[in-house]
Amino acid sequence: KAGVTQTPRYLIKTRGQQVTLSCSPISGHRSVSWYQQTPGQGLQFLFEYFSETQRNKGNFPGRFSGRQFSNSRSEMNVSTLELGDSALYLCASSFAANYGYTFGSGTRLTVV
Amino acid sequence: AQTVTQSQPEMSVQEAETVTLSCTYDTSESNYYLFWYKQPPSRQMILVIRQEAYKQQNATENRFSVNFQKAAKSFSLKISDSQLGDTAMYFCAFRASTGNQFYFGTGTSLTVIP
pLDDT tens column, A6-42: 999 999 999 999 999 999 999 989 899 999 999 878 8
Q: Is the Cβ pair B47, A101 closer than 8 Å?
A: yes
> Which of A60-69, B54-63, B97-106 is the least confident region?
B97-106
Residue A38, pLDDT score? 92
Residue B100's pLDDT band (cuts 50, 70, 90): confident
Residue A65, pLDDT score? 97
| pLDDT(B66) > 90 | yes
In this structure, what DSSP letter does residue B73 have?
A: T
Gap between the Cα atoms of B101 and A94, Å rounded: 11
Which of chain B's residues have a Cβ under 8 Å away from the Cβ of A49?
Answer: none
Which of chain B's residues have a Cβ under 8 Å away from the Cβ of A31?
Answer: 100
Q: Considering only the beta carbons, identify the residue of B97, B99, B102 that sits closest to A101.
A: B102
Please state, as a whole number, how many other Cβ atoms lie within 10 Å of the Cβ of residue A54. Answer: 13
In this structure, what DSSP letter does residue A25 have?
A: P
Mean pLDDT value of segment B5-12: 96
Nearest CA in chain A to B106: A42
Distance of CA A11 to the CA centre of its chain: 14
Higher pLDDT, A97 or B103: B103
Residue A1's pLDDT band (cuts 50, 70, 90): low
| pLDDT(A2) > 80 | no
Q: Which helix (H) or strand (E) holds B52?
A: strand B46-52
Which of chain B's residues have a Cβ under 8 Å away from the Cβ of A50?
Answer: 100
Gap between the Cα atoms of A104 and B32, Å rounded: 24
Within chain B, how many helices (H) and strands (E) appear? 0, 12
| pLDDT(B76) > 70 | yes
Give the CA distances from residue B105 to residues A88, B37, B44, in Å, rounded to whole numbers and listed in that order. Answer: 17, 10, 17
Gap between the Cα atoms of A74 and A85, Å rounded: 19
Q: Considering only the beta carbons, identify the residue of A42, A45, A98 that sits closest to B107.
A: A42
Residue A9, pLDDT score? 95
Distance of CA B1 to the CA centre of its chain: 20
Q: What is the mean pLDDT of chain B?
A: 93
Q: Which residues contact A100 (CB under 8 A, 6 or more apart)?
A: A94, B33, B35, B37, B47, B50, B93, B95
Mean pLDDT value of segment B31-49: 91
Residue A98, pLDDT score? 65
> pLDDT > 70: what percent of chain B?
100
Residue B56's pLDDT band (cuts 50, 70, 90): confident
Residue A97, pLDDT score? 62
Gap between the Cα atoms of A100 and A73, Å rounded: 18
CB distance B4 to B105 below 8 Å: yes
